[in-house]
A and B are shown apart, each in its own frame.
Chain A
Amino acid sequence: MRARQPESEDATREALSGFCEAYWPPLYSFLRHRGHSSADAQDLVQGFFAHLLEQNTLTRADQQKGRLRTFLLGSLQNFLFNEYDRARALKRGGGRQIVSIEEHLPEAEAAMMATAHLSDAGCYDLVWASTIVSRAWDNLQTAFVAEGKAEWLEELRPFVAGGSVAPLNQEEAARRLGVPIATLRTWLSRLRQRYRESLRMEVATTVSDPADVDAELQHLYQILIRS
């Protein structure tokens, strides 16, 4: 989300809820990766969002001429350092380490397993990249459902989005959809094109300078392919 100047309070709230929904997973994973318990991590992300809102930091993100990804991570780290530690220390008494990794590993989510070998920031990046890529797909799905094309998207999904289910051969899919193979191929091509646009739009909301979209996109690619 490019932090635009909201037009009304409702719009602000809506924008904020969208924002929080989008960037909650990487922030949460980062905290979990650092060893916070699930409950603590949830509280911390909530607190961090509240903090952002209070400080009106989102507008600043836009002015920073940077990437939301690095900006948010930096802010979270600052938040942890400046705000949270103080608060927790006061509450729990002393600079004692509150969570221990060993204790909490067993309850780590299945998704966390795959990031175990990464650094905290690497984990954040990976979850970030996954979130952006998934959101772009979700947005596209929503659009297709609105256009009444949910069914054929379901049919075409394996061709474009991979997954553990092998795509049927194209002839079979064309037959099931009752269209000629040439039409199916055109659809697939358009679907890829639309996803490409959707992904670019999603990425665009996270960078302040449109010129950064390509670089950020390539970065996401690197993160996911290397992981």
Chain B
Amino acid sequence: MDDGGIDLETAAAGVCATCGRLLTQIGPKGECLRCLVSLGFLADGEEPERPAAQGRLTPGPLKYAHFEVDVGADGFPVELGAGGMAITYSARDTVLNSTVALKVINRSVAQNPDARSRFLREARAAANIHHPNIARVTYYGEQDGECFYAMELVKGETLEARVRRDGPMPLASALEIIEQAACALAAAEACSVVHRDIKPSNIMLESDASGGLTVKLIDYGVAKVMGPQAELDAEQTRAGFIGTPAFASPEQFAGSAQLPIDTRSDIYSLGVTFWYLLTGRTPFVGGTMEEIRVRQTGELPLEHLRGMHLPGQVIALLKSMLAPDPKDRPQTARELLSAVNSCYARFNPEARARRRRAMLVVAAGVLAITAIGIWLFQRTRSAAPIERSIAVLPFENLSSDKENAYFAEGIQDEILTRLSKIADLKVISRTSTQHYKSAPENLREIAKQLGVAHILEGSVQKSADEVRVNVQLIKAANDSHLWADTFDRKLTDILSVESEVAKTIAEQLRAEITGQEAEVIADRPTDNPQAYDAYLRGLAYTLKTGFAPANSLGAQKYLKEAVRLDPKFAVGWALLSYVDASGYLTQGLQPTVALREEARQAAETALTLQPNLGEAVFAKGFYYYACLKDYDTAVKYLEQAHQLLANNGRIPLSLAYVERRRGNWDKSEAYFNEAEKLDPRNVNLLSQHARSYICLRRFPEALAKLEQILNITPDDIDTLVLKARIAQAEGDLPRASALLAPLRLGADYANALETQVYQAILESRPLGVIAQLKEILANPNQALGYYNGELRFWLGWAQEVAGDHAAARETWSQARSELEPLLKEQPENFVLMGDLALINMGLGDNAAALALAERALDLFPIDKDALTGPRPLDILARVAARVGDPDRSISTLEKLLSIPYEAPLAANPPLTPALLRLDPMFEPLRNDPRFQKLVASSARK
């Protein structure tokens, strides 16, 4: 607990980014000598021991009123801390016979009568704050020209020491600390006391008997007293600065003449402290105090938080606490407290509820504490995650060749897959764990987020045909290792490692394994190491998020290679079928008849090789869904697979898809919810769930799901774009623009790019996107197939909106000649039909346009596919409007506004009244009263 409340050095000095102290003592390369000297007697993870007071030249007892300073073994007074202006001793209150912290103020401060009286005033105010989170001031005295006060002795360590020792804290702990500190601020606020020097070294953590942590703010009221004194000594206080620069608020820098220092200043400092707890550093670092001041008013360095998966509310809380203008912060400590509380509740309601119960006990005092304690203990235990649950975190790739990342990913997934086949274990899907680091520090936090009791960490090192796999099974509650082992094997023998690891974990967690499960776990899917290697490469592609064509192509290529090398590789065939079928459905692969055929053959081969292989049964079901739209058969297989693969979230997810296509939106939602339990942080799943809400025009729920995704992957482009699409559908173009403007997109982000173009069209500002599209189309990526032609359709539309009809015609002509041959290859590709219908419409070939729209309509009746089935209707409504058939267009629009569906253009939100109003394709209908009525209506949910 250093007393640093009063760093009075000149404003010119910088601040150490590590310890936050003024950089007045620096080495030749700017090293902070205070950091260095601290290392001198701290082993890693050790906290600084407060040395006995060498400052006093005379050993022997010191007495201040009835307080006797404790004397150490060396005969010197026992110092708890020392700063520029005061020394804190451990002392004994000889009247009450208790130990206190005694702070003795430097003579140079104390000798000024004004300073003394201010000090007394503040000490009085501080003494009036009675709060469990504030170290209370109990006595004030003056003696021989020194002033001193006694305060509650806090037995614990400062937050600074804690973070130095253990590194950044898990979010849950940090939030808990901030919550308690906010309670302290609220109590102080009620007594009109401002701390002015909130920082990690002034906040102590005290453990109570039950192992809970109590936060205590120390040194209340001290800084303010020290402050005005500073003005007396111009030499030292040119800046008139009170507080520790790295934690000071902008108004403290500005000086009290300009802005009053109130609780909001403490809230700011607490915000910096919060940041420090989470990241181990302060947000604003500068060579000088002036630089810090300037940075405070700029952007928050949110990149420090990247990879921490902080919930959006927490980031919003940090932003508000650290707002440069006090008016933008929580205005009172109470307000802060409720923000922290709601953060806590949203982020982890269960933990929050437990904590509240625990706090109630404290509030109730000591009465019946034992009984309640026992009850609480039992409650807490019953609320703990089930013991036989595990999450497998991404394995670290230790190979010198970074190319081998696929191998580490594959090994992790294979171990996870084996574990997931044990019905007695709860195993979190890989998709929920993949965003975590390989060996994170906040294991407890992660376990809490995933609702598991155990975590498996691992690393894989591959060189030539040697593989070393290291695994560590950790019990999250106390971070203890249950089991750790290293396997050094030949590549040919790697499969046995996976089985062995899975088996040992099951044993360690005392999971019951049926005979069939044991067989499945021990199974060697192939004896051919090259085939297995190719399989792992393919698998790694399937594990990437999103259905980007490159991922589908990569997966397909290697899986084909795997089954070519070992034609009896059933798991390989099954995965190939799944990749083909989902590529066919999402058009991540070109949806040709040949692709569909490959999916069928692969699934059947897998089933023939191993009739009871869960993956094979799943592949067959998925094929029926994705390629044949035969939902009944699909459900039959999927339900069978559900039995075989108890923990596989992909199966309820597929069932959710099937029910959605069938138009059973409620049933689909139930499956989504079931899948989310197994796979709570699967971005793709959450995103599909959000898409359902979007189709249903339940935009607030969709936005909530999208926020959930952004909490996991903060910069996910597809999610940001979906948010923008919702804004468009709600007619809020500025909001959409704000979301889209920062994105710089290439052709790889199909929907995202189209959404940007659509935005420009809706805003009638097409010039920018025309240039962008031309640039992309100058070097088309052939692997993207018809998508290039589709982009050309958009370019033509943008050119038409820009009034350049000749250019639009030329572009559309080219698009038509590109897409027509593709339609011959993919005769059932309704996207292609829709594109061509609109292109023909643009070119004035009304008959062809209508014919294509009708053909799509015939091929895809809505009852066959509730999700995308209505797309041809959407196209038809557009074409009919343009070709002079307003009746048909309007009746189609009436129908569309009454049903949920996924729109054909710039995928997703269905038409809404707002879009009808904004979309220029409906221009010809503007004056029709029936259309006006639709625009004024609110679409049915």
Binding site for B on A (CB under 8 A): 113-114, 116-117, 126, 129-130, 133-134, 136-138, 157-167, 169, 171, 180-182, 189, 192-193, 195-196, 199-200, 203, 214-215, 217-222, 224-227
Pick from B29-37, B318-326, B422-430 the stretch touching chain A. Answer: B29-37
Is A161 within 8 A of B40, CB to CB?
Answer: no
Instruction: A225 to B439: give the CA distance in the assembly, Å.
Output: 34
Instruction: A23 to B471: give the CA distance in the assembly, Å.
Output: 53
Choose one: B24, B51, B279; the contact of A218 (CB below 8 Å).
Answer: B51
Q: For B920, list chain A residues within 8 Å (CB).
A: none
Is A222 within 8 A of B55, CB to CB?
Answer: yes
Measured CB to CB, the nearest residue on chain A to B22 is A114
Is A163 within 8 A of B23, CB to CB?
Answer: yes
Q: For B51, list chain A residues within 8 Å (CB).
A: 218-219, 221-222
CB distance from A65 to the nearest CB of B (A): 17
Is B281 within 8 A of A167, CB to CB?
Answer: yes
Instruction: A193 to B42: give the CA distance in the assembly, Å.
Output: 9
Which residues of chain B in 1-40 are interfacial with respect to chain A, using CB atoms and an 8 Å cutoff? 2, 8-10, 12-19, 23-40
Measured CB to CB, the nearest residue on chain A to B306 is A169
B385 in contact (CB, < 8 A): no
- Do A134 and B28 contact each other (CB < 8 Å), given the known contacts A113-B10, A167-B281? yes
Other contacts beyond A195-B39, A196-B40, A222-B55: 20, CB < 8 A: A113-B10, A114-B24, A116-B236, A117-B236, A129-B33, A130-B25, A134-B28, A137-B31, A160-B36, A161-B32, A161-B35, A163-B29, A164-B15, A166-B17, A181-B437, A192-B39, A195-B36, A224-B25, A226-B84, A227-B24
CB distance from B637 to the nearest CB of A (A): 42
Q: For A160, list chain B residues within 8 Å (CB).
A: 35-36, 39
Is B16 within 8 A of A171, CB to CB?
Answer: no
Is A126 within 8 A of B398, CB to CB?
Answer: no
Is A114 within 8 A of B13, CB to CB?
Answer: yes
- Do A134 and B27 contact each other (CB < 8 Å), given the known contacts A163-B17, A164-B15, A182-B439? yes
Q: For B439, list chain A residues within 8 Å (CB).
A: 181-182
B285 in contact (CB, < 8 A): yes
Q: For B82, list chain A residues within 8 Å (CB).
A: 222, 225-226
Q: For A158, list chain B residues within 8 Å (CB).
A: 17-18
Q: For A217, list chain B residues within 8 Å (CB).
A: 40-41
- Do A164 and B40 contact each other (CB < 8 Å), given the known contacts A157-B29, A180-B459, A224-B34? no
CB distance from A76 to the nearest CB of B (A): 19
Choose one: B28, B37, B43, B287; the contact of A220 (CB below 8 Å).
Answer: B37
Which residues of chain B in 69-101 are interfacial with respect to chain A, using CB atoms and an 8 Å cutoff? 82-84
Is B28 within 8 A of A138, CB to CB?
Answer: yes
B256 in contact (CB, < 8 A): no
Choose one: B32, B39, B52, B438; the contact of A163 (CB below 8 Å).
Answer: B32
Q: For B30, list chain A residues within 8 Å (CB).
A: 163-165
B480 in contact (CB, < 8 A): no
Is A171 within 8 A of B307, CB to CB?
Answer: yes
CB distance from B50 to the nearest CB of A (A): 9
CB distance from A166 to the nearest CB of B (A): 4
Is B37 within 8 A of A224, CB to CB?
Answer: yes
Most buried by A among B13, B30, B396: B30
- Do A161 and B31 contact each other (CB < 8 Å), given the known contacts A114-B24, A227-B25? yes
Binding site for A on B (CB under 8 A): 2, 8-10, 12-19, 23-44, 48, 51-52, 54-55, 82-84, 235-236, 279, 281, 285-287, 304, 307, 396, 398, 437-439, 459
CB distance from B315 to the nearest CB of A (A): 17
Is A114 within 8 A of B25, CB to CB?
Answer: yes
Is B16 within 8 A of A162, CB to CB?
Answer: yes
Instruction: A78 to B83: give the CA distance in the assembly, Å.
Output: 31
Q: For A180, list chain B residues within 8 Å (CB).
A: 396, 398, 459
Q: For A159, list chain B residues within 8 Å (CB).
A: 18
Q: For A167, list chain B residues within 8 Å (CB).
A: 17-18, 281
Is A221 within 8 A of B31, CB to CB?
Answer: no
Is B25 within 8 A of A162, CB to CB?
Answer: no
Instruction: A196 to B235: give the CA distance in the assembly, Å.
Output: 36
CB distance from A11 to the nearest CB of B (A): 27
Choose one: A114, A163, A200, A221; the contact of B18 (CB below 8 Å).
Answer: A163
Instruction: A217 to B36: give the CA distance in the assembly, Å.
Output: 12
Is A163 within 8 A of B26, CB to CB?
Answer: yes
Q: For B32, list chain A residues within 8 Å (CB).
A: 161-163
Q: For A126, list chain B residues within 8 Å (CB).
A: 25
Measured CB to CB, the nearest residue on chain B to A214 is B41
Measured CB to CB, the nearest residue on chain B to A126 is B25
Q: Which are the 8 A-B pairs with shortest beta-carbon distances?
A: A162-B32, A162-B35, A218-B51, A162-B18, A161-B31, A166-B17, A114-B24, A163-B30
Q: For A220, list chain B residues within 8 Å (CB).
A: 37, 40
Is A221 within 8 A of B40, CB to CB?
Answer: yes
CB distance from A213 to the nearest CB of B (A): 10
Is B35 within 8 A of A192, CB to CB?
Answer: no
Is B27 within 8 A of A117, CB to CB?
Answer: no
Is A218 within 8 A of B18, CB to CB?
Answer: no
Measured CB to CB, the nearest residue on chain A to B53 is A222
Instruction: A138 to B438: give the CA distance in the assembly, Å.
Output: 35
Pull 15 A–B residue pairs with CB atoms less than 8 Å apart, ordered by A.
A114-B25, A117-B8, A129-B37, A133-B33, A161-B36, A162-B32, A163-B17, A164-B15, A164-B16, A164-B17, A181-B439, A196-B39, A221-B38, A221-B41, A222-B55
Instruction: A78 to B84: give the CA distance in the assembly, Å.
Output: 30
Q: For B304, list chain A residues within 8 Å (CB).
A: 169
Is B40 within 8 A of A162, CB to CB?
Answer: no
Is B31 within 8 A of A134, CB to CB?
Answer: yes
Choose one: A114, A116, A196, A226; the contact of B41 (CB below 8 Å).
Answer: A196
Instruction: A195 to B287: give the CA distance in the assembly, Å.
Output: 25
Instruction: A54 to B236: give the CA distance in the assembly, Å.
Output: 41
Instruction: A164 to B39: give the CA distance in the assembly, Å.
Output: 18
CB distance from A197 to the nearest CB of B (A): 10
Q: For A226, list chain B residues within 8 Å (CB).
A: 55, 82-84
CB distance from B28 to the nearest CB of A (A): 7
Q: For B34, list chain A residues within 8 Å (CB).
A: 162, 224-225
Q: For A157, list chain B residues within 8 Å (CB).
A: 29, 31
Is A162 within 8 A of B235, CB to CB?
Answer: no
- Do A162 and B37 contact each other (CB < 8 Å), given the known contacts A113-B10, A116-B236, A134-B27? no
Instruction: A165 to B32: give the CA distance in the assembly, Å.
Output: 10
Is B281 within 8 A of A166, CB to CB?
Answer: yes
Most buried by A among B14, B34, B84: B34
Most buried by B among A117, A180, A203, A221: A221
Q: For B43, list chain A residues within 8 Å (CB).
A: 193, 196
- Do A189 and B285 contact each other (CB < 8 Å), given the known contacts A129-B37, A221-B51? no
Q: For B18, list chain A residues within 8 Å (CB).
A: 158-159, 162-163, 166-167
- Do A116 and B235 contact each other (CB < 8 Å), given the known contacts A165-B17, A180-B396, A199-B40? yes
Is B286 within 8 A of A164, CB to CB?
Answer: yes
Choose one: B24, B36, B285; the contact of A199 (CB below 8 Å).
Answer: B36
CB distance from A194 to the nearest CB of B (A): 10
Is B27 within 8 A of A161, CB to CB?
Answer: yes
Instruction: A225 to B84: give the CA distance in the assembly, Å.
Output: 9
Q: For B398, list chain A residues within 8 Å (CB).
A: 180
CB distance from A142 to the nearest CB of B (A): 12
Is A171 within 8 A of B437, CB to CB?
Answer: yes
Is B31 within 8 A of A162, CB to CB?
Answer: yes
Instruction: A218 to B52: give the CA distance in the assembly, Å.
Output: 9
CB distance from A217 to the nearest CB of B (A): 5
CB distance from B552 to the nearest CB of A (A): 28
Q: For B12, list chain A residues within 8 Å (CB).
A: 113
Q: For A222, list chain B residues within 8 Å (CB).
A: 51, 54-55, 82
Q: For B55, list chain A residues within 8 Å (CB).
A: 222, 226
Choose one: B37, B235, B279, B285; the contact of A225 (CB below 8 Å).
Answer: B37
Most buried by A among B32, B39, B44: B39
CB distance from B43 to the nearest CB of A (A): 8
Most buried by A among B33, B51, B287, B398: B33
Q: For A171, list chain B residues within 8 Å (CB).
A: 307, 437
